[in-house]
Amino acid sequence: MIVHGAALVLALALGGGSGEELAATTVGALRLKVPTAWQRRPNEGTTTRFAAPTGEAYFDVDVGRVQRDGGMPSSECLQKILAGLGDKGFEFTSIGGQPAAFRQYVDKDSQGKKFIQVSYVGCNGEVTWSMQFHMVQAKRDRFGPLAEKVSRSIEYQK
């Protein structure tokens, strides 16, 4: 029994621990994997929302286009996005084979309940995107790994 329990703990750790089944979908010029049980809300402008059925988390995906004829180098594009957001606290990474960045912060509502927001942004020189993942802080162990999985699944469509 202990061996099986240890194997389950190891499997959850290696799988990110979210326990959410993911399925591929598209948002604008991006392809990504999202939780199958989550509700996709109609687009609000360029924003698409995916919400957990429990109401404890959601994420918004925004997809746009570079407004320069012929695009621009992807690293320059990312720097422009970060400058517009106030680039403090962002960590650089690569998502979909292109430059990206992310940051996390904690906020409180008027009753003192804490929420975590993880912001991801990226650009391939032609397509720009952002993903804002919001979760109840008490559910961080469940939704934190899921935010990472969803962000790492992002691909630019050809």
Q: According to the model, what pLDDT value does residue 1 have?
A: 33
**In-domain check, residue 12:** no
**In-domain check, residue 115:** yes
For 61-113, how does the pLDDT look when each residue is reduced to its tens digit (9 = 90+)?
Answer: 999 999 999 999 999 999 999 999 987 899 999 999 999 999 999 999 899 99
How far apart, in whole angstroms, are the C-alpha atoms of residue 78 and residue 70? 16
**In-domain check, residue 118:** yes
**Domain containing 31: what range?**
20-156
**In-domain check, residue 149:** yes
How far apart, in whole angstroms, are the C-alpha atoms of residue 22 and residue 26? 13
* CATH number of the domain encompassing residue 62: 3.40.1000.10
**In-domain check, residue 120:** yes
Give the closest residue to 56 by CA, choosing from 120, 146, 138, 145. Answer: 138
Strand, helix or coil at 139? helix
Strand, helix or coil at 119? strand
How far apart, in whole angstroms, are the C-alpha atoms of residue 70 and residue 120? 24
**In-domain check, residue 10:** no
**In-domain check, residue 46:** yes
For 109-150, how does the pLDDT look when each residue is reduced to its tens digit (9 = 90+)?
Answer: 899 999 999 999 999 999 999 999 999 999 999 999 999 999
**In-domain check, residue 26:** yes
Q: How many domains does the chain have?
A: 1
